Amino acid sequence: MTVTMEAVVNTASQVQISIQPVVPDNISKVRNLNSVLFPVRYAKTFYENLLHPGYFGRLAYFNKQCVGTITCCKQPLGYADAKAAEMREPSERCEMYMMTLGVLAPFRRMGIAQSLVQCALETAAQDPSIERVALHVQVGNDDALGFYHKLGFVTTHTIDQYYRHIEPAQAYVLQYQL
């Protein structure tokens, strides 16, 4: 998927944003971006799993420079409603759980994150077993909350003590019905 859009970068000009799947040759780019974007260090298995069925990973390139990533996984319906340590029983009804979404600071507010989310929504909609896309947003992260609401996500409830090593520990559960 290639998205072309107008953006202001010194002068109004055409910029190219391309969204590419995560494959063995570029998985290190996801790891590098995550190390810069998130205060969490993800295990090696997190990255290995992205290459397996049921997982979804994309990289965003701005004029050929890797600047953003999204990672998701297919889970039983209701997975996002539970605390992180709780497991759900296997089910034919599923949701796509958005694990990470991030864009390097100089490239934010250019539609890149929106393009990544749109790609995930389109992919989820192609799987008849997936009923919704869900994610967690830390309470207090009003920018993220506004971003997802603008895209049509709805806050359904709050989970206390969702995060173990960061404050505030509460997380909103957001859902997008397909």
What is the per-residue pLDDT across 101-123, written as a single tens digit (0 to 9) for each?
999 999 999 999 999 999 999 99
The number of domains in the chain is 1
The per-residue pLDDT for 82 is 73
Which pTM was predicted? 0.87
What is the residue range of 32's domain? 2-177
Do residues 49 and 100 lie in contact, with contact meaning Cβ atoms separated by under 8 Å?
no
**Structure-block tokens of residue 33:** 């971006």
Helix (H, G, I), strand (E, B) or coil at 97: strand
**Cα–Cα distance measured from residue 55 to residue 113, given in angstroms and rounded to the nearest whole number:** 18
Q: Could you tell me how many residues make up the chain?
A: 178
Here the CATH number for the domain that contains residue 171 is: 3.40.630.30
Give residue-wise pLDDT tens across range 65-75. Answer: 999 999 999 99
Active site residues: 97, 136
